[in-house]
Structure 1
């Protein structure tokens, strides 16, 4: 049986580490054309075939509620970062496609943000990174 105290301490440490890294990396978006939340939407969309993803897939990858994602997507459409159209395979769904401006803004931030992530994660060696990755996937049930 798992040691309850150790489980709680480990959870708190994992949560705090994630939160601190997330807050530190928020600076990666200072002065950029897109916000951190917009980057998260574009991450799913730009990496999808033909830079197009289902809205439900975008929503499932976000850490905010579905109504918040919908409002964010609508703001991004208004800013010209993405296009939204009906999903021909799902009458209630929508497809989200990155515009050239959206893809360009994403790539500009992705370069800086990727370096920032690598720098912060460099405190761990490759074996530790593989172990951490395996453990977090296990916790997520993957």
Structure 2
């Protein structure tokens, strides 16, 4: 038996936020996926648990090209997060602890794929 994921559109008039920057739907903390559209095209899908970003997310450029993907845990980036230039070349790779509390590494490339910057947490290299 497959569980149906609840999905809403962030532009729905029943969607709101509270002072804690949590997502509300019809006045209740939202659990499920929230989609955002621009000019009729989906530009993001973000997973929420009790109003907080928690789970996978995907963002697209208005052209439809994938822009970013990753996972949030209790509002923090967790694990690997990737971002692309609109031409499809990888722009950024971020690595965080699984709980999202520790940045482990960050790499960036220009639109031609040439490295721009690289940072690795010194103590992360020893344990990997």
Structure 1 or 2: more strand by fraction: 2
Normalised by the length of structure 1, the TM-score is 0.22
